[in-house]
Amino acid sequence: MIHEASFRRRLQDGRASMIQVYAMCALAARFSDSSHFHKVPRGARGKMYISEAEHLAQQSLIAPSLETIQGLILIGYFYGGEGDTKAKHIYSGLARLHAEALSFPDIPKDAIPMRQEEYRRTWLSVHIASYWTASDMSIDPVLLVYGPDIVSPEVDDIIFHSLDPEQLQEKNISSPCNMWAYMAKTLDLFNRTSAVLRRLSQGQIEFNDYCTEASALENALDEWEKSLPPGLEYTQTNIRSLVKQGLGRTFLAMHIGPHHFRQMLFFPFLDARGNRDTPKLAHRATQCKRSANTVSEIIQHSTEMDGCDLNYFIYGHIAVISSCVHLHALLFSGDRDELSMARKRLVSNFEYLMDIKSYWPVVDYSLARLRKFQNSCQDSMSDPFLLDNWMVRFLTEHSSDISERQMPVLQSSEASKLGPNTKIGHTNLQGKNLPGPAQANNSTQIGTGAHGLSDLLQDQQVTSKALVDHAIDWLLD
């Protein structure tokens, strides 16, 4: 939402908004390699900046401006990374109120094109924050009067990323490479998916009704993919091309969202109860696993390709949901290829999570949820994939701390569907000398401290259940 070259010029000239500066530092200090921070844990470095950003924001509460709105959004993001959902919701709400006061659709016509584009992208950021924070609070979002189709980014992402303000002319505006505009079109699908999952878990709709709504949402996601121009389709060629243009991270972010929505949408079909055991519903479960595999693939690309790192905390939540789907394959599948892929993807996710949790305190919440979910897998008389209220919160709330799950006991006929392999325990270690957590924490770089876990992947004598159990212990240490 902020044009980098313009901001750097304002900063150099002493004209930059200090709300923005301190909020940026609060978010960015965790990634710094400066010796100034060597004795401060990465996840704690922002606290020395955020208090000043908040102080400056309070002085501007009744004086809305573009810079103040951007600063409020950044402060909200900071608190999201801390796991403080109430503070995040409040600051995102303040940004929305300021946007309404400025009447964003009435973008100043005398502003230079780059400035006009900052207005559009900031408005979209407010819109995105309204959806995500509302999901965290299990409430419906309070939306701006004008949707993203009314005020949407118009400037090509490559131009916005790379050019100085003076280089942008009106003729440069129209371009197909506008990934944020395409991302905006999926927001309503995310909101509808979250809402229908909540309704199902609360008994407001029957499962057959859920199937009907899920089909409509699936079709809408399919249409979104078909609407992408060839240069923005999810292909290896496009990834490499956009990496060269400095937009690999944005490209992966654009695609991981809809695949996450799909793994959420189809998650109820992993429920093992007999009345859902039909070829059509089994196909939906397969689609959930396919989307989880794509999420893991995108995350792996982000760790292996320069300039593609998805190091924001929301992707930690998405990786945890993907990992739960892989757990389903490990617990229930008898297909050798599917088991092998699930082990590989799970280890890749865990290596990523091991790194990102050092930056964002809230990722520890996501990992603690994963432990609570895994605990429910130990009870052979319960279905851990049952879509109860706890599971819906697990799927949709990415920043909140959720209490221990209380599992209902299935009837014996339903429990028999689960089979004997659902119990995960240390008894499956088979005497293997597994690497301890201390070995895994020697590096903050993805993969370099995880060789012990990767080695387990190759050791077929260690069961999948033992791998999962030890890896989660290792992540939580």
Q: Kindly state whether residues 131 and 199 are assigned to the same domain.
A: no
Q: Give the model confidence (pLDDT) of 412-431 as tens digits.
A: 444 444 444 444 333 233 33
CA distance 89 to 83: 11
Mean pLDDT of 202-215: 93
Q: Which of the two residues, 371 and 198, has the higher pLDDT score?
A: 198
Q: Please classify residue 342 by burial: count the beta carbons closer than 10 Å to its beta carbon, then call 0-12 exposed, 13-18 middle and 19+ buried.
A: buried
Q: Kindly state whether residues 203 and 251 are assigned to the same domain.
A: yes
Question: Any alpha helices (H) in 41-155, and if so which ranges?
Answer: 47-58, 66-82, 85-102, 113-136
pLDDT cut 90: percent of the chain above it: 45
In three-state secondary structure terms, 51 is helix
Q: Kindly state whether residues 334 and 403 are assigned to the same domain.
A: yes
- Residue-level pLDDT at 220: 97
Mean pLDDT of 386-397: 87
Question: Any alpha helices (H) in 385-463, and if so which ranges?
Answer: 389-396, 412-415, 437-440, 451-458
- Residue-level pLDDT at 124: 87
CA distance 227 to 184: 13
CA angle 437, 443, 448 (to 5 degrees): 95
Last residue of some domain: 177, 195, 215?
177
The alpha carbon dihedral of 16, 20, 26, 29 has a sign of: negative
Quickly count: other Cβ atoms within 10 Å of residue 233's Cβ.
Answer: 12
CA distance 440 to 443: 7
CA distance 186 to 261: 9
Cβ atoms 450, 350 nearer than 8 A:
yes
Mean pLDDT of 212-227: 96
Cβ atoms 242, 248 nearer than 8 A:
yes
CA distance 373 to 327: 10
Residue 71's alpha-carbon distances to 130, 194, 230, in angstroms, are 15, 28, 35
Question: Any alpha helices (H) in 202-312, and if so which ranges?
Answer: 207-227, 236-244, 248-265, 279-304
Cβ atoms 76, 53 nearer than 8 A:
no
Q: Kindly state whether residues 301 and 337 are assigned to the same domain.
A: yes
CA distance 90 to 419: 46
- Residue-level pLDDT at 438: 36
Q: Kindly state whether residues 157 and 302 are assigned to the same domain.
A: no
Q: Give the model confidence (pLDDT) of 88-129 as tens digits.
A: 999 999 999 998 888 776 777 767 778 888 888 898 899 888
pLDDT confidence bin for 432, thresholds 50/70/90: very low
Q: Kindly state whether residues 413 and 441 are assigned to the same domain.
A: yes
Q: Kindly state whether residues 212 and 140 are assigned to the same domain.
A: no
Mean pLDDT of 71-87: 94
Q: Kindly state whether residues 163 and 245 are assigned to the same domain.
A: no
pLDDT confidence bin for 170, thresholds 50/70/90: low
Q: Which residues contact 10 (CB under 8 A, 6 or more apart)?
A: 16, 17
Of the listed ranges 282-286, 399-403, 438-442, 447-451, the one predicted with least confidence = 438-442
Of the listed ranges 183-187, 247-251, 256-260, the one predicted with least confidence = 183-187
Q: Is the pLDDT of residue 439 over 90?
A: no
Q: Is the pLDDT of residue 36 over 50?
A: yes
Q: Kindly state whether residues 415 and 281 are assigned to the same domain.
A: yes
Domain that holds residue 151: 4-177
Q: Give the model confidence (pLDDT) of 135-169 as tens digits.
A: 888 777 777 766 555 567 778 787 787 766 565 55
Structure tokens at 415: 């429990």
Q: Please classify residue 39 by burial: count the beta carbons closer than 10 Å to its beta carbon, then call 0-12 exposed, 13-18 middle and 19+ buried.
A: exposed
Mean pLDDT of 426-441: 35
Q: What is the DSSP letter of 402?
A: -
- Residue-level pLDDT at 113: 78
Q: Kindly state whether residues 191 and 173 are assigned to the same domain.
A: no
Number of Cα atoms under 13 Å in the Cβ half of residue 43: 18
Q: Which residues contact 14 (CB under 8 A, 6 or more apart)?
A: none
- Residue-level pLDDT at 233: 95
Q: Give the model confidence (pLDDT) of 231-244 as tens digits.
A: 999 999 999 999 98
In three-state secondary structure terms, 159 is helix
CA angle 150, 152, 154 (to 5 degrees): 125
Q: Please classify residue 91 by burial: count the beta carbons closer than 10 Å to its beta carbon, then call 0-12 exposed, 13-18 middle and 19+ buried.
A: buried
Q: Which of the two residues, 447 and 50, has the higher pLDDT score?
A: 50
Q: Is the pLDDT of residue 474 over 80?
A: no
Last residue of some domain: 142, 177, 212?
177
Our count of domains for the chain comes to 2
Last residue of some domain: 143, 177, 211?
177
- Residue-level pLDDT at 378: 66
Cβ atoms 98, 68 nearer than 8 A:
yes
Q: Which of the two residues, 76 and 431, has the higher pLDDT score?
A: 76
The total number of residues shown for the chain amounts to 477
In three-state secondary structure terms, 246 is coil
Question: What is the amino acid identity at position 242?
Answer: L
Of the listed ranges 5-19, 235-249, 328-342, 446-460, the one predicted with least confidence = 446-460
CA distance 190 to 152: 18
Mean pLDDT of 182-206: 91
Q: Kindly state whether residues 211 and 169 are assigned to the same domain.
A: no
Q: Which of the two residues, 256 and 414, has the higher pLDDT score?
A: 256
Cβ atoms 92, 133 nearer than 8 A:
yes
Q: Kindly state whether residues 141 and 189 are assigned to the same domain.
A: no
Q: Report the chain's C-alpha Rg in angstroms.
A: 23
Helices 66-82 + 313-332 axis angle, to 10: 40
In three-state secondary structure terms, 231 is helix
